[in-house]
Amino acid sequence: MNNILAGSVFAVLILMLCISGCTTAPGNGETPPTGQPTATPTALLSTPTPVSSTGQNLAGATWYLIAFFNQGSGSVNVLPGTEITAQFDDSGTMSGSAGCNHYSAPYSGILNGLSIGTPVATKMNCNSPPGTMTQESLYLTAIRGASTFSIAGDILTVFDSGGKALLTFTRIKPGTEPSAPLAGGTWYLESYVDAKGELFTLVPHSVVTLRFDGKGNITGNAGCNSYFGAYSLGDGQTLTIGTIGRTLMACSDSMVMEQENDYLLVLPEMKVYSISGNDLIMNDGTGKYTLTFSTRTS
């Protein structure tokens, strides 16, 4: 009996030692084995206030619509007597006046990308000036097509997924500052958008100018060579620029020469212009090409 009892006690002791040796005590400083996380990582959110390629933020300003591009009729200026605005807050909401009604819509983007959701608006009906409600409908439809944007000086341009301009805004409230006249001064090129919708700023330390003399002549410097040509103004804010001639200097900087060639090819394509304060925006009437100038040198 004593032998049986002693054997039982011994077996229990061996079992306890086995259990103790096979279990890691918590908090003993050992590194747990590496494996897959047990929780799903939190997805990264898009930047709520996208930044343009020039480092300027959409938020923090009221943008006033100058013109929008209506498929089939090119650039259309905002109706006189109406005001369309856009504000982008830091929480991903775009809001403003669509010309008659107040609207709001969600937005998101990364860098110069921009996506705008379905807008909701109040239900007022404005009969004056004529065309206000049609314009509002076109605007609220157009913002849904936003894909990218650029900011040059005080000008915001919104593009669709194909790179064509949709909307052009300014920070300057229309009528609060006298607009510079088209003729008589010097306009300095700040940026241009090519047929692919790509935004280009000037080669560092280069200067491109444009002058209208009020008598049908344009002159300027394209970065290396001086150039000259003729222009005429049409109804509304339309213009026609004729064949461009230039001097035949060859500058050593190949980037400046390439920029000059591109600019002088695009300039005669300009058909529509608008001036807001000290900014001149010209485009080909379809949103394919856009040139942005300013009276400022920087």
- For residue 93, what is the domain's CATH number? 2.40.128.270
Kindly state whether residue 270 falls inside one of the protein's structural domains: yes
Give the amino acid at 218. Answer: I
Predicted local distance difference test score (pLDDT) of residue 261: 94
Based on the domain organization, do 166 and 181 belong to the same domain? no
What's the pLDDT score for residue 215?
Answer: 94
Indicate whether 187 and 256 sit together in one domain.
Answer: yes
Are 167 and 265 found together in one domain?
Answer: no
Q: Are 129 and 148 contained in the same domain?
A: yes
- Could you tell me if 233 and 145 lie in one domain? no
Q: Within a domain: residue 21?
A: no
Final residue of a domain: which of 175, 199, 231? 175
pLDDT for 115:
94
3 state SS of 147:
coil
Is 184 a residue whose pLDDT tops 80?
yes
N- to C-terminal Cα distance for the chain? 105
- Does 278 lie in the same domain as 213? yes
Query: 293, 295, 227, 294: which is closest to 260 by C-alpha?
Result: 227
Residue 197, pLDDT score: 63
Say how far apart CA 15 and CA 65 lie, in whole Å.
Answer: 83
The answer as to whether 271 is a domain residue is yes
Domain stops at, among 175, 203, 224? 175
Grade residue 47 by pLDDT with cuts at 50, 70 and 90: low
Provide the pLDDT for residue 24: 39
User: Within this chain, do residues 216 and 163 fall inside the same structural domain, yes or no?
Assistant: no
The count of C-alpha atoms lying within 13 angstroms of the C-alpha of 1, restricted to the half-sphere facing its C-beta, is 0
CA distances from 184 to 120, 210, 214, 233, 265 (A): 45, 10, 7, 15, 24
Q: pTM of the full predicted structure?
A: 0.64
Q: Which of 175, 208, 223 is the last residue of a domain?
A: 175
Question: 50-54, 77-81, 183-187: which range is least confident on average?
Answer: 50-54
**Is residue 15 scored above 50 in pLDDT?**
no
Residues 158 and 218 both lie in one domain: no
Q: Does residue 148 sit in the same domain as residue 207?
A: no
**Above 50 in pLDDT, residue 27?**
no
> Cβ(133)–Cβ(276) under 8 Å?
no
Q: What is the mean pLDDT of the chain?
A: 81
Q: Is the pLDDT of residue 70 over 90?
A: no
**Structural domain of residue 272, as residue ranges?**
177-298
Please tell me the distance from the alpha carbon of residue 142 to that of residue 159, in angstroms, as a whole number: 10
Does residue 159 sit in the same domain as residue 215? no
Examine the domain organization and report whether 130 and 251 are in the same domain: no
Number of separate domains in the chain: 2
CA distances from 57 to 4, 110, 156, 162, 298 (A): 86, 11, 10, 23, 19
pLDDT band at 239 (very low <50, low <70, confident <90, very high): very high
Determine, yes or no, domain membership for 130.
yes
Say yes or no: 139 and 52 in one domain: yes
Look at 35-39, 185-189, 206-210, 289-293 and tell me which has the smallest mean pLDDT.
35-39
Reference 179, options 187, 189, 190, 167; nearest CA is 187
- Model confidence at 16, pLDDT cuts 50, 70, 90, reads very low
Greater confidence, 151 or 211?
Answer: 211
